[in-house]
Chain A
Amino acid sequence: MNAPVPGALTSSLLYLDGVSVSFDGFKAIRGLSLTIEPDEMRAIIGPNGAGKTTMMDIITGKTKPDVGTVMFGGTVDLTKLDEAAIANLGIGRKFQKPTVFDSHTIEDNILLALKSKRTVGKTLFWKTEEPQQKRIDDILGIIRLADRRDRLAGSLSHGQKQWLEIGMLLAQDPKLLLVDEPAAGMTDGETAQTAVLLKEIARDHSVIVVEHDMGFIRELGVKVTVLHEGSVLAEGPLDHVSANERVVEVYLGR
């Protein structure tokens, strides 16, 4: 899956070039270019309004860019697809505010996310087969919620909901995971565990993490992209970008 596809324009998994979008005249993204390699984990930081969430909206099909190229796997133009089609291509998204299905059990949350045919007919006559059940059990183990599987997701703490949502992403088995502020509102212990979890996932998935928490990014130890006013300000290891004067000025200094 990681070999370059024949006929591909690029070997990158995700390729954004010259992307711009504006809402009512406000340019949320201006000329953004970014590439993510297969199995790469990338951290994205930037002050509020830098366009981090809008960038995720563009990749997942929620927002259509005014101009620019968004290619997935070298051959697929994401700007022509809707949310469901993009999700089924293998792009999973975790929201900033943990969004799980509160009135479903934890196990059912994973079941709903589990990679499978999403048609009406297939879901109506669905029967969970043994390998699928095993996969659900595995994921429940990874996110440390196996003993609570029959509890309603609404009864979980904030941190546990974040993990459940990461578990749902794992169940989707996407090629690329977009994770929006996974450590927001977590205790220090939970944050550290989340970093371990994400690093585990990044071994065989590409991951984009949007995060404000500098300590968390240091723990991830990955390449960092700094966004500012809708375009890339700096890119490189954390120590390198945090030494950049412009970055300090717009973001870290505050």
Chain B
Amino acid sequence: MIARFLLQNMDRRAGIFLAILLALAVLVPAANLLLPASSPFHVPTSTLALWGKYLCYALLAVSLDLVWGYCGILSLGHGAFFALGGYAMGLYLMRQIGTRGVYGNPVLPDFMVFLNWQELPWYWWGFSSFPFAMLMVLLVPGLLAFVFGWFAFRSRVTGVYLSIITQALTYALLLAFFRNDMGFGGNNGLTDFKDILGFNVQAQATRAALFSMTCVMLAAGFLIARGIVVSKLGKVVIAVRDAESRTRFLGYRVDRFKLFVFTVSACMAGVAGALYVPQVGIINPSEFAPANSIETVIWVAVGGRGTLVGAALGAVVVNGAKTMFTSGFMAPYWLFALGGLFVVVTLFLPKGILGTAEALWRRRRKPETMPAAEPAPAE
């Protein structure tokens, strides 16, 4: 049933996207590990790490597209779910350090020793176990989204008001995680990781494996999101986006459908964060910054809202551009470029890169048919 659910109505675009991810998962680590540095096809470890980061962002973008592009919920706080997933992974990685910390305490992380804490707080318990930590990667963002969504959607908070609350949510978490008393390392966050599942996180082979894992999880996230949006539930969700009260009068409990999609999306964002942390080697409260969440919205808008593949594409394109612009002589102009990009996309490419490319492609081939899911104007 699960295979049928994930593979129903498989189209060419999804097929190509999955094939590319599979190829990346195999070829990039191979080119990094097996080819000598002199080979023109060798992928340096720094590039591998950079692309691993992009693909984590792509998974975050896919999760946001699921709620924004299809359900019309403009979440300006999706970075919070990403960061919570990242912290769950960070807690696991901290517990793996053991006695190799600066203070050599076998139980307490360095920052706790520094703060004169005597024992591990209860919410750190269990995080030395990898399966438990992975469960928390899904559960913590999922539970927060569920509780938040339960109240917001039942009270019929929609549109810009909901966006503002999500923004407030991530800002509140930012302030909370800055406090040393929270027990998550304060503004320094969690870093100086040593091992993941017994492998050195800095080792080239571990980095390559993490990259492959990121490709696989992006593919899995994409398949789940696609399975949802092409199902009848996906049609209901699009109906909610376009005519919420009509859907309600058809007998659908709109709040439950929103809650389902929002929670699934938050879990997905959590996974993206968990993959991100071992690859960049640090997680700190700045990941909760509202600006991060807003940037994610821009990736999705640039790539093409309501297309899933476009969201992933947008994340890679915008972050690729960011890497280019933030190094060298163009560095001071990145924020102008980002703002300009958003204006250009809003004015000239309202359907994003993928939506526009698709419209052109279709106009050349068959003028009759129209895209299945045309997003309503932005809120």
Contacts and interface: CB of A to CB of B under 8 A. Distances in A.
A103 B233 contact: no
A165 B38 CA distance: 67
A126 to B, nearest CB: 4
Interface in B222-246: 228, 231-233, 235-236, 238-239, 242-243, 245-246
Nearest to A155: B370
A184 interface: no
Contacts of A26: none
List the 6 closest A-B pairs by CB distance, nearest first.
A87-B251, A126-B232, A123-B233, A88-B251, A124-B233, A99-B246
Given A111-B235, A112-B235, A172 B250 contact: yes
Nearest to A93: B249
A118 B232 contact: no
A9 to B, nearest CB: 25
B199 interface: no
B253 A101 contact: no
Given A87-B248, A101-B243, A120 B256 contact: yes
A150 B369 CA distance: 9
Contacts of B245: 62, 83, 99
B236 A112 contact: yes
Interface string B326-361: 000000000000000000000000000000000000
Interface in B124-169: none
Contacts of B1: 125
B248 A123 contact: no
16 contacts: A87-B250, A92-B249, A99-B245, A100-B246, A101-B239, A103-B238, A103-B376, A105-B372, A108-B235, A111-B232, A112-B239, A118-B251, A124-B232, A125-B1, A150-B369, A172-B251
Given A104-B239, A112-B250, A125-B5, 4 more contacts: A103-B374, A118-B251, A123-B231, A152-B370
Contacts, number: 86
Given A104-B235, A108-B235, A118 B374 contact: no
A95 interface: yes
Interface string A107-145: 010011100001110011110000000000000000000
Grouping DSSP codes into helix (H, G, I), strand (E, B) and loop, the B interface class, with mixed when no group exceeds half, is helix
B252 interface: yes
Contacts of A103: 238, 242, 372-376
Contacts of A99: 243, 245-246
Interface residues of A, number: 34
Nearest to B259: A120
A112 B246 CA distance: 11
Among B233, B251, B369, B372, the most chain A Cβ lie within 10 Å of the Cβ of B251
A60 interface: yes
A66 interface: no
Contact of A113 (B250, B369, B370, B375): B250
Interface residues on B, range: 20 to 34
A17 B256 CA distance: 33
Contacts of B246: 95, 99-101
A178 to B, nearest CB: 9
A155 B370 CA distance: 10
Given A83-B248, A99-B243, A103-B242, A123 B376 contact: no
A166 interface: no
Nearest to A99: B246
A103 B241 CA distance: 10
Given A99-B243, A125-B5, A87 B249 contact: yes
Interface of B: 1, 5, 228, 231-233, 235-236, 238-239, 242-243, 245-254, 256-257, 260, 369-370, 372-376
A84 interface: yes
A120 B260 contact: yes
A84 B239 contact: no
Contacts of A95: 246
A95 B373 CA distance: 23
A77 interface: no
Nearest to A103: B374
Interface in A147-171: 150-152, 154-155, 168
Contacts of B236: 112, 123
A174 to B, nearest CB: 9
A155 B374 CA distance: 12
A108 B250 CA distance: 13
A219 interface: no
Contacts of B239: 101, 104, 112
A146 B374 CA distance: 22
B172 to A, nearest CB: 29
Contacts of B5: 124-125
Nearest to B1: A125
A102 interface: yes
Interface string A61-92: 01000000000000000000001100110001
Contacts of B253: 84, 118
A8 B249 CA distance: 26
A120 B257 contact: yes
A184 to B, nearest CB: 17
A102 B376 CA distance: 9
B259 to A, nearest CB: 8
Nearest to B306: A103
Nearest to B257: A120
